[in-house]
Amino acid sequence: MPDPQNPVVQIYVRLLDEGTPCSRPTQALALEDGLFKLLPTEGYDPEDEHWEFLPGATVRGEEMCHDGRSYLMAVSP
């Protein structure tokens, strides 16, 4: 979760049009009240990957758990 000393966190964004449910990690700037501003990955290509929320979007981070590992998933604010 966000650390005041380092407001950049890893968050996952769902990928659309992939044929199977999947997501990719990216970074986001922690804002206030559980909100995050998505940052693009290095080499981000909107023609290649269709993110549910584009870089620069403000999203809410929902804590998810899979195989005993917790992570943040970008969801609508």
pLDDT for 59? 98
pLDDT for 71? 96
Checking 31-38 for CB contacts under 8 A at 24+ apart, the result is 31/58, 34/60, 34/61, 35/59, 35/60, 35/61, 35/77, 36/9, 36/11, 36/60, 36/61, 36/72, 36/74, 38/11, 38/13, 38/74
Residue-wise pLDDT for 11-65, tens only, equals 999 999 999 999 999 999 999 999 999 999 998 999 999 999 999 999 999 999 9
pLDDT for 17? 93
Q: Using 50, 70 and 90 to split pLDDT, how confident is the model at 2?
A: low
